[in-house]
A and B are shown apart, each in its own frame.
Chain A
Amino acid sequence: MQGLPSESTLANQSLWPLGVYALLVLAMLAAVVIISALIGPRHSARRRDLPYESGMPPTGTAALRFPVHFYVVALAFLIFDLEVAFLFAWAVAARDVGWLGYIELVVFIVMLLAGLVYLWAKGALDWGASPANAATPVAEEIDG
């Protein structure tokens, strides 16, 4: 602890260094991007302006439909991350709110876990086809 400024000066410290630091960082990055764009050579060649697809001529648009799983995970993340934000509010005040707060925390977390269990049971956390799930429908299709 020695060498630290006293509590009061720290509480009074303003945020302007952060703002100046942010400007400094952005200015530096902008300078690097601009300078490297200026000093780099330029040339063009036949078939150069195509997206890289392992040397093959590109097929179709790159606006692919990506698996809906990513969307489900993003939704689940939004909900859970919001709940984590509430947990932070409890964490910083854990001592002040005592056992009553802790019981509320447990209730909250049980609800959160219920959501997780639901996601889990619905298969939202299973990616791709697990061998057990994949084998049956295909086999049925062949039989039918």
Chain B
Amino acid sequence: MSGTLDVIVRMVLTLALAMASASMLVWVERRLLAAFQDRYGPNRVGPFGLLQLVADSIKLFTKEDWTPPFADRVPFILAPTIIVATGLLSFAVVPFTAAGALVDLNIGVLYFLALSSLSVYSIMLAGMASNSKYSLLGAVRAAGQMISYELAMGLSVASVVALAGSFNLREIVAAQEGLPYVVLQPVAFLIFLIAGLAESKRSPFDLPEAENEIVAGYHTEYSSMKFAFFFLGEYLALVLFSSIATALFLGGGNGPWLPTIVWFAIKMAAIIYVFIWVRATFPRVRYDRLMAFGWKILVPVAILNLLVTGALVVARSAGG
């Protein structure tokens, strides 16, 4: 019985942590960008503007929920829920605490990659169902970009899997007890971060929603909470990629003195900070360069990295 209770507590905790960190991130990002640009940012609602988040949610919640008459109703409503659902479901395998994740999947890494592939459907459905030109253009761009960078991401993760010999995120974290994989796999770490930026469609890879060419891309026709869901999904993806990067490369919650979850949060926050820093620093890239970079540089480098990693892994296990 206590086992069931424990699972329910962890379930609620996972959901609450994911939602809270994703929505807090809106405020964190706005404040940080403001700091980078030497201005204040949101500081009116509540202490340090912390309640801005609440104000925004209430506003979005009570806006008119408009389903355009020219849209395909069912996929139009499904699309934003898919992106949030895939984001939230992925958190089930993130090993936040010492007790591991909500479910200790043997195929945790594959589960994460599969769900992040599924989120492409959300974007594509949104663009096709909206029946609007900007939406379609944004969706096609997003799909092309996401599938291209998924390849590089999968390959970079494969070298970590080869090192750890497991798909289980808890075991991968445990294998980094002495030395985090970022030391052994710096190239894979970089590729994972870049692919994570592109997968979550964040600046400098935010072409799908490049507001000065295609308005808002695939969510041009969305309003109210459905509109908010796309942003929630994007921030969930950001939290997710940084937490998976923490587990795969930075040794998860491993660390002296502090409890697991605190170490995990510190490492995750560091990666999120880098993501926001990148957004504040780099201009948007051109689409042809984005695709060329993904296919001509990231994929070959990731394959080479896998080959070298594989040789070292086999040599060490054969020697020892």
Contact = CB atoms under 8 A, between A and B. Distances in A.
A29 B310 contact: no
Contact of A125 (B98, B130, B295): B295
B24 interface: no
B288 A51 contact: no
A24 B144 CA distance: 32
A81 B15 contact: no
B147 A73 contact: yes
Contacts of B100: 4-5, 10
Interface stretch (B31-39, B46-54, B270-278, B299-307): B299-307
Contact of B151 (A17, A20, A84, A92): A84
Given A1-B177, A94-B310, A33 B81 contact: yes
A130 to B, nearest CB: 8
Contacts of A70: 140, 143-144
A90 to B, nearest CB: 8
Interface residues of A, number: 73
B21 to A, nearest CB: 16
A92 B143 contact: no
- Which of B103, B135, B229 has most A Cβ within 10 Å? B103
B224 interface: yes
A15 B111 CA distance: 13
A18 B151 contact: no
Given A36-B65, A88-B161, A102-B310, A3 B292 contact: no
B147 A40 contact: no
B11 A40 contact: no
The secondary structure that dominates the B interface is: helix
Interface string B130-156: 111111110010011001101100110
Given A127-B287, A128-B288, A77 B99 contact: no
Nearest to A74: B147
Nearest to B317: A95
Contacts, number: 217
Interface in B85-108: 85, 88-89, 92, 98-100, 102-105
Contacts of B291: 73, 125, 127
Interface in B290-320: 291-292, 295-296, 299-300, 303, 306-307, 310-311, 313-314, 317-318
- Which of B105, B136, B150, B310 has most A Cβ within 10 Å? B310
B15 A21 contact: yes
Interface string A98-137: 1101100110010011001001100001111000000000
Contacts of B135: 62
B55 interface: no
Contacts of A33: 77, 80-81, 225-226, 229
Contact of A66 (B63, B140, B260): B140
Interface of B: 7, 10-11, 14-15, 60-65, 68-70, 77, 80-81, 84-85, 88-89, 92, 98-100, 102-105, 110, 130-137, 140, 143-144, 147-148, 150-151, 154-155, 158-159, 161-162, 165-167, 170, 174, 177, 215, 220-221, 224-226, 229, 260, 287-288, 291-292, 295-296, 299-300, 303, 306-307, 310-311, 313-314, 317-318
Given A18-B105, A49-B69, 14 more contacts: A2-B98, A26-B85, A33-B77, A35-B61, A37-B224, A49-B68, A54-B215, A64-B136, A74-B147, A77-B150, A80-B151, A88-B161, A92-B161, A98-B317
11 contacts: A4-B170, A22-B89, A36-B65, A37-B225, A40-B64, A51-B221, A62-B130, A91-B159, A99-B314, A99-B318, A116-B299
